[in-house]
């Protein structure tokens, strides 16, 4: 149940995804996990295409398992299974520069399924900005898609996940700097920007720190690997859940306002299914924990102090006993005071009940950022 009443989508909106590298594959499986992507395929004239591109196939297995089970899910609901296409492209080395024949063939199959749709579509291209695979390929793949004549009804949007302090050698890597340089220049160009749906930079530090607050026991290396996996999946799930929510009406609105621009999609995690506060304990304990992690938003946002924008949009998810109205009011104070330009009142909040009693978080969308607004850019280039 949600209290928000966004403008209804006039017709179905198809969402497709290309995942590059290990992180990109997680975004593919995240979209496959949403019930909404399946519901959308109930409509005549809809299609769904997913593609994973990686060096080797080690990180494709989970997403491929979800893809294999997706068509039986469709068939059980009477949905024609030919509305869905899943492909893998396994490379021997990362492709820099021009797209090679193997990848070009995979993109052609993907684009053909996208073009079969009779309704507007958004294609997401997701990757880690700090890794060696996706960071060097995301712009080239977007440009290749542009050549394939997807049509005016299709928007291409990038999703680039920033590293966090627990990412080891990938944390604030030089590859991240190079990727931000290229993406910033691409989105800032007056012409030939392939990201017609915009490019979303996704920071992960807040989610990483929130999970770290719970996990202090066990073997350090195992604990870190587990936290990295959980953080990546939580962030990807949160983004894709937003993208298809309310018939993709939030996504459609954002594309109309911020298409072609570089935008931040922050995910702030306020509570986690751990043992710090248990169901049934005094509400005041919840309040203190939630307030604490709401106050950490500026610290872990990844933005430099002094960044201001014309508008702020937030989507809050919480269990019904977490007093979501109080959470939204506190978060509004933090976001407006830190990020909204003086004189602007363009703040929109959407409140949603979350299925897990122990989890609450907020998706914070800040449009029109630049690479120099990001703390990660200074750290990785300095």
Same domain membership, residue 209 and residue 85: yes
The reply to whether 176 and 198 lie within a common domain is yes
Q: Which two tokens stand for residue 16?
A: 């497709």
- Answer whether residue 129 is part of any domain: yes
Question: Which range has the worst mean pLDDT, 134-138, 246-250, 345-349, 368-372?
Answer: 134-138
The mean-pLDDT minimum among 14-28, 66-80, 207-221 falls in 207-221
Mean pLDDT for the chain overall = 89
**pLDDT given for residue 226 in this prediction:** 66
Same domain assignment for residues 244 and 330: no
257, pLDDT greater than 90 = yes
Domain co-membership, 278 together with 224: no
Together in a domain, 242 and 303: no
Q: Say what angle helices 174-188 and 134-147 make with each other, to 10 degrees.
A: 30
Cross-sheet strand order for the sheet of 312-318: 84-91, 48-55, 14-20, 121-128, 154-161, 199-202, 262-271, 360-366, 312-318, 347-353
Same domain membership, residue 212 and residue 347 = no
Answer with the one of 260, 289, 320 that is the final residue of a domain. Answer: 260
Q: Does the pLDDT at position 5 exceed 60?
A: no
Does residue 225 belong to any structural domain of this protein?
yes
Examine the fold and report which residue of 260, 281, 298 is the final residue of a domain before the chain moves on.
Answer: 260
Distance of alpha carbon 303 from alpha carbon 290, whole angstroms: 21
Q: Is residue 4 part of a domain?
A: no
19 & 157 share domain? yes
> Does residue 68 sit within a domain?
yes
**Over the stretch 327-378, which tens digit does the pLDDT of each residue have?**
999 999 999 999 999 989 999 999 998 887 778 999 999 999 999 999 999 8
Q: Above 80 in pLDDT, residue 93?
A: no
- Region 121-136: mean pLDDT is 92
Instruction: Evaluate whether residue 273 is within a structural domain.
Output: yes
Assess whether 164 and 188 both reside in one domain. yes
**pLDDT at residue 105 above 90?**
yes
pTM comes to: 0.91
Q: Which two tokens stand for residue 270?
A: 């306020």
Query: Do 237 and 302 share a domain, yes or no?
Result: no
Mean pLDDT confidence for 271-280: 63
Read off the pLDDT of each residue in 177-184 and give the average, rounded to a whole number.
Answer: 96
Q: Which of 236, 260, 284 is the last residue of a domain?
A: 260
Per-position DSSP letters for 28-97, written without gaps between them = HHHHHH-HHHHHHTTSTT--EEEEEEEESSTTSHHHHHHHHHHHHHHHHTT--GGGEEEEEEEESS---S
- Read off the CATH number of the domain in which 81 is found: 3.40.50
Whether residue 89 is predicted with pLDDT greater than 90 in this model: the reply is: yes
CA contacts within 13 A on the Cβ side of 250: 21
Quick one: pLDDT at residue 1? 43
Q: Do residues 291 and 376 share a domain?
A: yes
Domain membership flag for residue 5? no
Same domain, 23 and 91: yes
- pLDDT, position 7: 52
Q: Is residue 336 part of a domain?
A: yes
Give the total number of structural domains in the chain.
2
- Residue 130, pLDDT > 60, answer yes
Do 78 and 120 share a domain, yes or no?
Answer: yes
Domain that holds residue 169: 14-260
Q: Please report, for the domain that includes residue 276, its CATH number.
A: 3.30.1330
1 found inside a domain: no
Q: How confident is the model at residue 222 (pLDDT cuts 50, 70, 90)?
A: very low
Q: Taking 80 as the threshold, does the pLDDT of residue 283 lie above it? A: no
pLDDT (0 to 100) of residue 221: 58
Quickly count: other Cβ atoms within 10 Å of residue 153's Cβ.
Answer: 14
Residue reference for tokens 């920071």: 203
């Amino acid at each position: 149940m949600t209290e928000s009443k966004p403008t209804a989508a006039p017709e179905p909106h198809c969402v497709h995804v290309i995942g590059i590298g290990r992180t990109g594959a997680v975004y593919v499986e995240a979209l496959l996990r949403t019930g909404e992507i399946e519901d959308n395929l109930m409509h005549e004239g809809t299609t769904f295409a997913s593609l994973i591109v990686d060096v080797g196939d080690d990180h494709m297995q989970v997403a491929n398992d979800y893809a294999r089970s997706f068509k039986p899910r469709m068939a059980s609901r009477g949905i024609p299974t030919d509305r869905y296409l899943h492909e893998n492209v396994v490379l021997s080395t990362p492709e820099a520069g021009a797209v090679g024949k193997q990848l070009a063939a995979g993109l052609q199959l993907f684009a053909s399924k996208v073009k079969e749709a009779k309704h507007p579509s958004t294609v997401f291209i997701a990757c880690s900005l700090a890794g060696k695979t996706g960071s060097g390929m995301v712009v080239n793949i977007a440009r290749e898609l542009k050549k394939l004549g997807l049509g005016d009804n299709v928007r291409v949007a990038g999703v680039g996940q920033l590293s966090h302090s627990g990412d080891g050698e990938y944390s604030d890597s030089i590859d991240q700097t190079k990727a931000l340089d290229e993406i910033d220049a691409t989105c800032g160009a007056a012409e030939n920007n392939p990201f017609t749906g915009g490019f979303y930079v996704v920071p992960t530090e807040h989610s990483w720190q929130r999970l770290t607050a719970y996990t202090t026991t066990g073997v350090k290396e195992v604990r870190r690997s587990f936290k990295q996996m959980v953080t990546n999946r939580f962030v990807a799930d949160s983004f894709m859940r937003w993208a298809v929510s309310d018939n993709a009406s939030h996504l459609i609105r954002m594309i109309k306002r911020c298409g072609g621009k570089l935008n931040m999609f922050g995910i702030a995690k306020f509570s986690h299914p751990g043992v710090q506060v248990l169901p049934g304990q005094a509400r005041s304990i919840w309040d203190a924990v939630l307030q604490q992690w709401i106050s950490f938003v500026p610290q872990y946002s990844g933005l430099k102090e002094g960044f201001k924008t014309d508008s702020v949009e937030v989507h809050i998810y919480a269990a019904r006993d977490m007093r979501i109205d109080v959470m939204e009011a506190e978060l509004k104070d933090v976001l407006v005071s830190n990020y909204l330009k003086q004189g602007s009142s363009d703040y929109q909040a959407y409140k949603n009940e979350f299925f897990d009693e122990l989890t609450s978080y907020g998706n914070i969308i800040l449009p029109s950022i630049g690479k120099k607004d990001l703390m990660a850019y200074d750290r990785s280039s300095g």
